[in-house]
Amino acid sequence: MPGFWARPSSARPREVLLYLHGGWFNWGTAAAYRNLVGQIAARADVEAFIPDYRLAPEHPHPFPAAVDDVQAAYRGLVDEGSERIAVVGDSAGGNLALVLLSLTKESGTRPLAGVALSPITDLTLGGSSWETRAEADPYFVRPQAESLVRAYLGDAEPTDPRASPLQGRLEGLPPIRVHVGDDEVLLDDSRSYVERAVAAGVDARLDVWQGMPHGYAGGVGMFAAASESLDAIGAFLRERPAP
């Protein structure tokens, strides 16, 4: 599968971070995320692989093709001998990361942890922050998001757990950390997912970064919150015991 590797010199063998990039299921490439993922990989002392997955509208049926692609990437890492895999993603990649955690939780080599940055967890766009953060969010408006979701799902239902991880069975998932900016229309996607995960007995925690917009974690050198957020993610991933 095409993608990009980030290999810190201190990376521990047979440990890998599978990073799923954002872009609302309609844009983004593995190569474009190499700086952000390199920052996380260095903090976690692991190698990282960023796969390219099928996007709308260039592929006629991107759902569930994107889910199939990230499952294939995970299986490929396992087949190559990776024994400790953490799954991380942002925005649409955060959606795919959380879906992948549910789909692999009973596999022979299940992920040891998951991290989602500003994930899209509810493709019904039902969170109240679509209204309460509408003026604060500098990037997204609801009609735009609705169009991107339609391009991704086609005729599929947004309540399908493979489309909206908020709708999935969360029992038995590995430890999860979710980071989101307080100025995002996606804020409630993060809040609701973590609330459901905790209720299902998952070791899940939400970090909300005040005044931060969508994609703030990519602003290392511009936002103190970006470095602090990535430091916390790196520490979390380094401390995970074997599953």
Residue 9: give its domain's CATH number: 3.40.50.1820
Q: Is 199 a domain residue?
A: yes
Average pLDDT of the chain, as a whole number: 93
Residues 175-199 have a mean pLDDT of 98
User: Percentage of the chain with pLDDT > 70?
Assistant: 93
Does a structural domain hold residue 243?
Answer: no
Per-residue confidence (pLDDT) for residue 220, from 0 to 100: 84
Mean pLDDT along residues 231-241: 89
* Lowest pLDDT segment from 8-22, 90-104, 195-209: 8-22
Is residue 87 one of the residues assigned to a domain?
Answer: yes
| Cβ atoms 168, 96 nearer than 8 A | no
186 in any annotated domain: yes
| Number of separate domains in the chain | 1
Q: Give the side-chain half-sphere CA count within 13 A for 155.
A: 1
Tell me, what's the pLDDT at 3? 67
pLDDT the model gives residue 13: 52
- Does residue 162 lie in a domain region? yes
Tell me the C-alpha distance between 207 and 133, whole Å.
17
What is the value of pTM for the model shown?
Answer: 0.94
If you average pLDDT over residues 128-148, what whole number do you get? 96
Q: Which of 184, 190, 192, 229 is catalytic?
A: 184
Q: Is the pLDDT of residue 91 over 90?
A: yes
- Residue 61's pLDDT band (boundaries 50, 70, 90)? confident
91 flagged as catalytic? yes
* Residue-level pLDDT at 86: 97
Q: Could you list the residue range(s) of the whole structural domain that residue 234 is in?
A: 3-238
Q: Do the domain assignments include residue 228?
A: yes
Model confidence at 83, pLDDT cuts 50, 70, 90, reads confident
Any domain includes 160: yes
Annotated catalytic residue 214 = yes
Calculated CA dihedral for residues 3, 119, 82, 65, nearest 10 degrees? -60
Mean pLDDT of 53-76: 95
Residue 8, domain member (yes or no): yes
Catalytic residue, chosen from 21, 47, 82, 91, is 91
Whether 146 sits among the annotated catalytic residues: the reply is no
